[in-house]
Amino acid sequence: MDNILKISDFDYDLPLELIAQTPIEPRDASRLLVARRADQTLEHRHFRDIGEYLRPGDLLIANQSRVIPARLLGQRAETGGAVEVLLLAERTEKGPDHWETLVRPGRRLREGALIHFGPTGQAPRLMAEIKERTEAGGRIVHFWVPQEPNDASNDPYQILTVRQRIDEIGRMPLPPYIHESLADQERYQTVYARIRGSAAAPTAGLHFTTELLERLRQQGVRTGFVTLHVGLDTFRPVEEENVSEHKMHSEEIELDAPTAELINATRKAGGRIIAVGTTSVRVLESVASLQEGQDETTPFKGSTRLFITPGRKYKLVDAMITNFHLPRSTLLLLVSAFMGKEFMETAYQEAIQERYRFFSFGDAMLLL
């Protein structure tokens, strides 16, 4: 029984003042801890220097998912009590405008409960009904736009879609450990974010500027894009002591034909596949697992529950750009699987000692 992976072994103490509350300007001015697995060495740089560690023929794979204003504040129709709904993923198989969500207060929001969204004292701009509870503790919620004028004016009523209403009244869902408000909402998006659907930013990509990407392109480093809409597991620590009992939430992923071609060409030419962030890692390694035995990577669109833990061999990813992750998290396990638990602990202790900034708006690591 000694070989059970325990989550308590992936805990660490972090001074609260090292949790970055605001993004640094410019994006690529953040610090970069370069960790070489081959000789277990660490080097302190800035993100703008990353090109010195990349070679012509290398391929960056980044997640192009865009964060939606997924935090909705409303009131219970029956009591007027405050409600918060966090959109995680659209669940079209349940019906149009059905979303998987996290809700607060969870105990009071049972099946059939109705929620109004919009300014207090005015007609609701958006309505929702709790349909069912999910295995992971969330709720399936059905949204609709009420069939009535959206303001007191005599303008002809134009019905908006649920998506448009969410864009209008939703707020950016910053992680719970960030207590500062964000002046520029685009700073919680990557510069290449295109496909809407995430409940949180794929934060390793926040360090790139368009100028830095262009410099890397001129250096012969190519970029391909995948999509993973960041969902529930970002907000959920591993609560079971035995890691194997943790249930990973399903996430929708896509690797398209142009990206598959880039991966195959890079591997044939001996270049490295460098994943930008743990979400890109999950797409690449999920596809590699599903297509095991194939000579080449082929396009894929579907879902994954891949849980990467120490002991797992990486199949596609040669190097990784990532931020510093929360204690006891699935992401810390993923990084430990890539660099080894002891080297991960050495790197994290060094980062704490050197006062690196942690988590979503924090500094980065390059794992070679």
Specify the pLDDT at position 234: 67
Phi, psi dihedrals of residue 111, rounded to the nearest 5° = -55, 135
Specify the pLDDT at position 119: 85
Closest CA to 49 of 27, 31, 36: 31
pLDDT at position 153 over 70: no
pLDDT at position 40 over 90: yes
- Give the architecture-level CATH label for domain 71-169: Beta Barrel (2.40)
Specify the pLDDT at position 154: 46
Q: What is the pLDDT of residues 256-280, one digit of tens each?
A: 999 999 999 999 999 999 999 999 9
Q: Where are the domains of the chain?
A: 7-67+178-367, 71-169
- The model carries a pTM of 0.90
Specify the pLDDT at position 148: 62
Contact indicator for 140, 131 with CB cutoff of 8 Å: yes
Q: What is the pLDDT of residues 62-77, one digit of tens each?
A: 999 999 999 999 999 9
Residue 7 or residue 234, greater confidence: 7
Listed ranges 7-16, 128-137, 156-165, 168-177; the one with the highest mean pLDDT? 7-16
Specify the pLDDT at position 156: 45
Q: Which residue has the tokens 């609701």?
A: 124
Q: What is the pLDDT of residues 218-248, one digit of tens each?
A: 999 999 999 999 876 666 789 899 999 998 8
Q: What is the mean pLDDT of residues 126-150?
A: 88
Burial class (CB in 10 A: 0-12, 13-18, 19+), 122: exposed
Pick the CATH number of 7-67+178-367 from 3.90.870.10, 2.40.50.140, 3.40.1780.10, 3.40.220.10: 3.40.1780.10
